[in-house]
Amino acid sequence: MPNSSGRGGGSLARIRSGALLPLLLAFAGAAYPARVRAQPAAAAPPPAAPQTIEVTQTFNGAPFSYTITPLAARERYTIYTLRYPSPVVTADLPQNNTIPAEYYLPVGLTPGTSQARPAAICLHILAGNFELVQLLCSVLASNGVPAIWFQLPYYGERSPPGGRKMLLTNPDIFAKVLPQAVADIRRTVDLLASRTEIDPQKIGISGISMGGILAGAAVGYEPRLNRADLILAGGDLLRIVNHANETRKLHELLEQLPPDGRAALEGHIRKMDPLTYADALSRLAKDGRVLMINDDDDEVIPKDCTLKLAEAIGLPPDRMVWLDGLGHYTAMAAIGQVIDRTAAFFAEDLPAGARSEPAPAPTAPTVAPGPLQMVLAILQQASEMLFLAPAEGHCHFADLSVSVNAGGDKAYEGELRYIRGAGKRFRLEGRVPDLGTAAFGHGEFPWMAIPGKKVFVGSQSPVDVANPLAYADNQSVAKVRVVQGVVAAASLGAMSVEQWVTATQEKDTNGATVIVLTNPQDPRDMLRLTLRADGKTPDKATFAARGTHGSVTFRQWQTRTIGPDELFEPPGDLPRQDVLQDDLYRTFAALFNFAVEKAE
């Protein structure tokens, strides 16, 4: 293992969650497409052998020690867990005083190497989901760049009983957490600079959304940062706070404060504005060591805020990457492009010959796919169904029946039919336990049907919105985007899933292929997936997890099949009531938000 020299609710609630999650994913999929690039396969985990290491050279002159423990081995890198003290002590929240982190070290890189590597600190997003930053670290390490991410103050296991939400409602905590986040970044630079496999002159930082803004500000505080990768970020933080829905509560707090209190809080916000540190960023930018990746239709970070920062730091045009009209949340559709550009950016500092090039793709398969590859192929189909619109005149079609038992005597039965067409077209019909039957769709107009009663059609006063969830809560959308990203990442690479599942293959009594997935940590968590005769299409799945068991029957499962426009129009056998289109979109959003809440 690497070393260092010291240089530097009840059953019913669970049933509802399980039934609603496919619904909300399908509903969100009609509005938000995505793709994620492939990842390499995993290797066996290393033995767990924690080690304590001292760091004597620090930004504030205070030595500290950290522990490093092997967590998992992958084909191209090894993951270690680290724990080290925050430079800022929170007296009334002791869990906030320890920084939990994960360190991704490329395979073959050991302390004392003759060619020390550059490293990247990766910051997570405002929503507090870690899957995306873990994916970023894994790709960096796969390309030869050591990477580390840590839980920011008041996030994850560092959060108070009320969670991190108080950050946006309590001005005193907000004023404390931003400086602590910067101090924690500087402490992480101390740690990396102390490790002999890291070149202390080539430590960079990357962040997405809030993480990108924080990364830009950190350059102004920490002169040892050599590169900055700012993804979906910008300058003029006060404008962003007053504009973005994610910071609505903070904006409302500012409005309610007395003048002196508001001025003080705005002062703290300005201290975290990358524009405040334009001089420091410009010193990196002039040498091509700042990369900005933004969307020209970002609903959270206004384009002029991005341009204002780029102009202030003198960003060269070739270091500004514009995604094409995806929006802040739907930028996940370009996650492959974003991560590839980020990996190439940090790899510029690698010693000659140190980059881990991806293995060439085979021109033709030489062996039959293994059980995990077969499951991943089905996940690819599911990801396409949910998040990628087919061509005009075609559709994706899934028709499922579900039975779930959460440990009692009663099994809850449900059905789901999902049809995805081109553009905004979709049709979603479902029968959910205790919630009844309903149907939603979008053909020429959005519509909602209550079987046997009435269909509401949003034909009055059409509004120009980009998707059926235009009014959905951005936090709810962000949560679904994380699930979407995990599904998409898993569907395109075994590296992302082998740490969580073991896959085997067998035949049932009828000779059908059966894939068995088990949880290495608890073999009682199991899924048996039976395939049809073609060995590619799912037929039935049975599952057991945490006292809940059930089955899914795949009555239909097709991608890119024929789908005429009429398929997405409302039922013609019900009384029709024309309503304001805006009202129906708001109803869609309310149902979506409710589904996300129940799924949690």
Question: Which residue in 219, 204, 226 sits closest to 272, CA to CA?
Answer: 219
Helices (runs of H) and strands (runs of E) counted in the chain: 13, 22
What does the pLDDT look like over 358-415, one tens digit per residue?
444 334 444 567 888 888 888 888 878 887 888 887 889 898 999 988 777 777 888 8
186 against 483, higher pLDDT: 186
331 against 359, higher pLDDT: 331
pLDDT band, very low/low/confident/very high, at 80 (cuts 50, 70, 90): very high
Mean pLDDT of 41-60: 76
**Residues 6+ positions from 546 with CB-CB distance below 8 Å:** 525
42 pLDDT above the threshold of 60: no
Of 46-55, 290-299, 335-344, 537-546, the range with the lowest mean pLDDT is 46-55
Give the torsion sign (CA, 300, 304, 310, 313): negative
Token pair for residue 132? 């995306």
Longest Cα separation, the chain? 77
456 pLDDT above the threshold of 90: yes
Asked if 318 and 389 sit in the same domain, the reply is no
Question: Is 589 domain-assigned?
Answer: yes
What does the pLDDT look like over 116-154, one tens digit per residue?
999 999 998 876 668 778 889 999 999 999 999 999 999
Residue tagged 């000659």 (tokens): 352
Asked if 432 and 299 sit in the same domain, the reply is no
In the chain, pLDDT over 90 holds for what percent of residues?
A: 39
* Residues forming beta bridges with residue 388, ordered by sequence position: none
183 pLDDT above the threshold of 90: yes
Question: Which residue in 389, 390, 391, 387 sits closest to 332, CA to CA?
Answer: 387
Compute the distance between CA of residue 192 and CA of residue 187 in angstroms, rounded to an integer.
9
368 against 191, higher pLDDT: 191
Compute the distance between CA of residue 532 and CA of residue 536 in angstroms, rounded to an integer.
7
Compute the distance between CA of residue 486 and CA of residue 8 in angstroms, rounded to an integer.
36
Residue tagged 């019909």 (tokens): 429
Question: Is 277 domain-assigned?
Answer: yes
Question: Is 52 domain-assigned?
Answer: no
356 pLDDT above the threshold of 70: no
Compute the distance between CA of residue 206 and CA of residue 213 in angstroms, rounded to an integer.
10
What does the pLDDT look like over 270-318, one tens digit per residue?
888 999 999 999 999 999 999 999 988 787 888 999 999 999 999 999 9
Compute the distance between CA of residue 1 and CA of residue 33 in angstroms, rounded to an integer.
40
Asked if 224 and 87 sit in the same domain, the reply is yes
329 pLDDT above the threshold of 60: no
55 against 535, higher pLDDT: 55
Do β-strands 147-150 and 225-231 pair in parallel, antiparallel, or remain unpaired? unpaired
Please provide the size of the chain in residues.
600
Asked if 158 and 243 sit in the same domain, the reply is yes
pLDDT band, very low/low/confident/very high, at 483 (cuts 50, 70, 90): low
**Residues 6+ positions from 423 with CB-CB distance below 8 Å:** 389
Asked if 211 and 111 sit in the same domain, the reply is yes
Residue after which a domain boundary falls, among 303, 328, 353: 328
Question: Is 49 domain-assigned?
Answer: no
Q: What residue spans of 427-565 are helical by DSSP H?
A: 474-491
Token pair for residue 213? 């803004």
Please spell the DSSP secondary structure of 285-300, one letter per residue.
HTTT-EEEEEETT-SS
pLDDT of residue 338: 86
Long-range contacts at 503-512 (CB < 8 A, ≥ 24 apart): 503/370, 503/371, 503/372, 503/375, 504/371, 505/370, 505/371, 505/374, 512/539
Q: Tell me which H or E stretch contains 382.
A: helix 371-387
Asked if 312 and 431 sit in the same domain, the reply is no
Asked if 376 and 306 sit in the same domain, the reply is no
pLDDT band, very low/low/confident/very high, at 23 (cuts 50, 70, 90): very low
pLDDT band, very low/low/confident/very high, at 442 (cuts 50, 70, 90): very high
Token pair for residue 294? 């933004």
Residue tagged 């540190």 (tokens): 277
Question: Is 228 domain-assigned?
Answer: yes
Question: Is 88 domain-assigned?
Answer: yes
Compute the distance between CA of residue 13 and CA of residue 234 in angstroms, rounded to an integer.
41
CATH number at residue 293: 3.40.50.1820
Asked if 309 and 385 sit in the same domain, the reply is no
pLDDT band, very low/low/confident/very high, at 44 (cuts 50, 70, 90): very low
Asked if 317 and 443 sit in the same domain, the reply is no
15 pLDDT above the threshold of 50: no
Q: Burial-class residue 534 by CB neighbours within 10 Å (0-12, 13-18, 19+).
A: exposed
Asked if 392 and 316 sit in the same domain, the reply is no
pLDDT band, very low/low/confident/very high, at 41 (cuts 50, 70, 90): very low
600 against 360, higher pLDDT: 600
Residue after which a domain boundary falls, among 261, 295, 328: 328
Compute the distance between CA of residue 313 and CA of residue 219 in angstroms, rounded to an integer.
12
Question: Is 95 domain-assigned?
Answer: yes
Give the torsion sign (CA, 407, 410, 411, 413): negative
pLDDT of residue 488: 61
Compute the distance between CA of residue 216 and CA of residue 227 in angstroms, rounded to an integer.
10
pLDDT of residue 146: 96
Question: Is 19 domain-assigned?
Answer: no
Asked if 444 and 541 sit in the same domain, the reply is yes
Mean pLDDT of 455-471: 81
**In which order are the strands placed within the sheet that holds 147-150?**
51-55, 64-73, 77-85, 98-106, 147-150, 117-123, 198-208, 225-231, 290-295, 320-323
pLDDT band, very low/low/confident/very high, at 113 (cuts 50, 70, 90): low
pLDDT of residue 48: 64
Mean pLDDT of 105-114: 76
* Residues forming beta bridges with residue 321, ordered by sequence position: 293
* pTM of the complete model: 0.60
Compute the distance between CA of residue 18 and CA of residue 517 in angstroms, rounded to an integer.
19
Q: What residue spans of 66-145 are helical by DSSP H?
A: 131-142
Please spell the DSSP secondary structure of 556-569, one letter per residue.
EEEEEEE--GGGGS
In the predicted model, what is the mean pLDDT of the chain? 81
How many domains does the chain divide into?
2
Taking the CB of residue 139, how many other CB atoms lie within 10 A of it? 26
Residue after which a domain boundary falls, among 328, 359, 385: 328
Mean pLDDT of 41-54: 67
Asked if 313 and 403 sit in the same domain, the reply is no
Asked if 440 and 414 count as a contact pair (C-beta separation under 8 A), the reply is no
Asked if 430 and 444 count as a contact pair (C-beta separation under 8 A), the reply is no
pLDDT of residue 495: 45
Give the torsion sign (CA, 168, 14, 28, 594): negative
What does the pLDDT look like over 499-542, one tens digit per residue?
678 889 999 988 999 999 998 878 788 899 999 988 889 999 99
Output the CA angle 227-353-196, nearest 5 degrees.
Answer: 60
| 3-class DSSP state of 365 | coil
591 pLDDT above the threshold of 60: yes
CATH number at residue 543: 2.50.20
pLDDT band, very low/low/confident/very high, at 460 (cuts 50, 70, 90): very high
Compute the distance between CA of residue 144 and CA of residue 227 in angstroms, rounded to an integer.
16
| Structural domain range at position 501 | 372-599
Asked if 412 and 405 count as a contact pair (C-beta separation under 8 A), the reply is yes
What does the pLDDT look like over 235-278, one tens digit per residue?
998 888 887 666 677 777 788 888 888 888 888 888 889 999 99
pLDDT of residue 433: 66
pLDDT of residue 54: 97
Compute the distance between CA of residue 473 and CA of residue 32 in angstroms, rounded to an integer.
14
